[in-house]
Amino acid sequence: MVTNLRKIIMAYQVCINPDCGCRYEIDRVLHSCNVCGELLDVDYEWDLIPVPDSLCYFDRYRFSSSGGVRNFSGVWRYYEFLSFLPLERLVSIGEGRTILQDARFVSSFVGIDAGRFFLQYEGFNPSGSFKDNGMAAAFTHGSFVGAKQAACASTGNTSASLAIYSAATRLMEAVVFVGSGKIAYGKLSQALDYGSKTIQIDGDFDDALLRVRQIASESGIYLVNSVNPFRLEGQKTIMYRVLDDLGWRVPDWIIVPGGNLGNASAFGKAFIELRKLGLIDKTPRIAIINAAGSNTLHQLYGDGEAGKLRWNGGRYDKVMVKNFYDKMTAESRRAHTIASAIEINRPANLSKALRTLEFCNGVVREVTDQEIMDAKAIIGAGGFGCEPASAASVAGAKKLVEEGIIDKEQLTVCILTGHQLKDPNATVAYHGTDQNFFKNTLGKFNITSANFANKPISTPNEKNEILKHL
Ligand SMILES: *Cc1c(COP(=O)(O)O)cnc(C)c1O
Ligand SMILES: [Zn+2]
């Protein structure tokens, strides 16, 4: 059965290290190259795949629940670009039905002309974050290879996504590893509510990922973190949808928060492939935005302490990375930011993100938690709403406009990675009047003021008292 399928599948896994380039079959479960330890890509025999001549081909797949998986899913709609398994094997719970929003009331805050600034609203996914794009692809692969259990380490949203796919499809049982006290309640509540086995370990995300990678490779539990190259195939589709909603125009800028750097990696791969296939004639620039309290990429790529790390055709300076990580260990440095979804100091997809930065002429910036929470309030007041990590993209856009890197006429897309209701504590602390709650929730992240707070008004329950406020 598997042998037959293999014959008709035009995909394989390949090491991204140009000095290695080792290939692996599609049904292998690997988190890195067995020979050199680098990350793996899923790649395709493009000559053998019926790729359309024009992206307009995809216009035929409009959302519907009765038209098959390509109409049901905003991931599998673009099947030609991620056809690593046959159509009848694809898993979907209706992910990727997300939209690009013209964010007029946010654009003036950022400093970009109205009508030129858009938000890709990935909080609209079934579990409320972009992770579902990747989980559809990972679940497709994991169930194909016959895994019975799937696991992840998570700052919250990967676990929520894994949990919902497990509950909705019953294809694999979900086991989620979370750091203690590090997960926003909205996300933890999802993992519990969807019935996943939830293991809280002492430590943070970086500790949890190390542990789950070890357990997964020893036990045959299928790992769905973004070191899984199939997951990133699903996340490429976020970029296809951006282009799709722009009438297949390519924007000038894509701006994305950087945590484990899976999105940044997937977005770059999407554009590399579209260019190679001749389906777009321009590449957008990308900006990856770190939180200042978990800024490894910014330190290594930008003007940080470590120097200028570049992809360099795949021969990047691994010693520079190792020295930086050793120094973090020696100083017991821990990631620390209100944007818990990007509270990661050892981004697993660092090398792939460097590749993206090179291909997309990218920039990296860091934003403070104060800037993140202020941007988040503007996004909410603009009629959208997101969790703190997502607002890093908008705070970063504002910074790049101020620096003159982004021009006010440039077509700019920020990715809103997660839903507003994921982290209500942060939102209520920011807008509320309870000073203790503010201090306990936001104060420990050096957030001192709520510059755009919409404070609730307390008043006696008397008509005239109330009317005074209206
Ligand atoms: C996972 C996550 C991120 C970080 O994405 P990476 O691909 O790991 O860089 C950002 N925002 C939200 C809401 C997330 O859930
Ligand atoms: Zn290799």
Residue 205, pLDDT score: 85
Atom of ligand 1 nearest to the CA of 257: 10
Judge whether residue 266 has pLDDT over 90: yes
Q: What is the mean pLDDT of the chain?
A: 95
Atom of ligand 1 nearest to the CA of 258: 9
Residue 73, pLDDT score: 98
Residue from 95, 120, 133, 260 whose mutation best tests the ligand 1 pocket (most atoms within 8 A of CB): 260
Distance 125 CA to ligand 1 centre (A): 14
Residue 155, pLDDT score: 87
Identify the residues whose C-beta falls under 6 Å from ligand 1.
129, 131, 157, 226, 257-264, 341-342, 387, 389-390, 417-418
Distance 53 CA to ligand 1 centre (A): 33
Sequence-distant (≥ 6) Cβ neighbours of residue 188 within 8 angstroms: 156, 159, 178, 198
Residue 179, pLDDT score: 84
Query: Is 227 strand, coil or helix?
Result: coil
For 200-210, what is each residue's pLDDT tens digit?
A: 999 888 889 89
For 182-191, what is each residue's pLDDT tens digit?
A: 788 899 999 9
Residue from 131, 417, 422, 423 whose mutation best tests the ligand 1 pocket (most atoms within 8 A of CB): 417
Atom of ligand 1 nearest to the CA of 389: 11
The ranges assigned to domains in the chain are: 99-127+229-426
Distance 178 CA to ligand 1 centre (A): 15
Residue 180, pLDDT score: 81
Half-sphere exposure of 148 (CA within 13 A, CB side): 2
CB neighbourhood size of 219 (10 A): 10
Judge whether residue 9 has pLDDT over 90: no
Residue from 124, 130, 297 whose mutation best tests the ligand 1 pocket (most atoms within 8 A of CB): 130
Residue from 124, 127, 129, 366 whose mutation best tests the ligand 1 pocket (most atoms within 8 A of CB): 129
Confidence label for 305 from pLDDT (cuts 50, 70 and 90): low
Distance 259 CA to ligand 2 centre (A): 24
Q: What is the dihedral of CA 152, 155, 160, 162, to 10 degrees?
A: -20
Please tell me the least confidently modeled range out of 151-155, 168-172, 244-248, 375-379. 151-155
Residue 25, pLDDT score: 96
Contact 364, 288 (CB under 8 A): yes
Atom of ligand 1 nearest to the CA of 422: 13
Half-sphere exposure of 382 (CA within 13 A, CB side): 28
So what CATH class is 99-127+229-426?
alpha beta
Mean of the pLDDT values across residues 288-317?
A: 91
Which residues are within 5 Å of ligand 2 (an ion), measured at CB?
15, 17, 20, 22, 33, 35-36, 38
Q: Are strands 222-223 and 149-154 parallel, antiparallel or unpaired?
A: parallel
Atom of ligand 1 nearest to the CA of 156: 15
- Cα(324)–Cα(36) distance, rounded to whole angstroms? 20
Concatenating the DSSP letter of every residue in 419-440 gives -GGG-HHHHHHHHSS-HHHHHH
Q: Using CA positions, which residue lies closest to atom 13 of ligand 1?
A: 418
For 145-157, what is each residue's pLDDT tens digit?
A: 999 999 999 989 9
Please tell me the least confidently modeled range out of 129-133, 140-144, 200-204, 430-434. 200-204
Position with higher pLDDT, 154 vs 168: 168
Residue 182, pLDDT score: 72
Distance 20 CA to ligand 2 centre (A): 5
Atom of ligand 1 nearest to the CA of 418: 13
pTM above 0.75, yes or no: yes
- Cα(194)–Cα(346) distance, rounded to whole angstroms? 29
Atom of ligand 1 nearest to the CA of 261: 9
Judge whether residue 194 has pLDDT over 60: yes
Distance 211 CA to ligand 1 centre (A): 20
Atom of ligand 1 nearest to the CA of 263: 7
Judge whether residue 7 has pLDDT over 70: no
Distance 454 CA to ligand 1 centre (A): 27
Confidence label for 304 from pLDDT (cuts 50, 70 and 90): low
Calculate what percentage of the chain has a pLDDT beyond 70: 97
Residue 1, pLDDT score: 43
- Cα(29)–Cα(8) distance, rounded to whole angstroms? 19
Mean of the pLDDT values across residues 284-311?
A: 90
Contact 411, 398 (CB under 8 A): no
Distance 360 CA to ligand 1 centre (A): 19
- In terms of Cα–Cα distance, which of 196, 181, 364, 359 is closest to 272? 359
Distance 82 CA to ligand 2 centre (A): 22
- Cα(320)–Cα(275) distance, rounded to whole angstroms? 31
- Cα(60)–Cα(83) distance, rounded to whole angstroms? 18
Distance between terminal CA atoms of the chain? 70
Distance 3 CA to ligand 2 centre (A): 24
Ligand nearest to the CA of 314: 2
Distance 349 CA to ligand 2 centre (A): 15
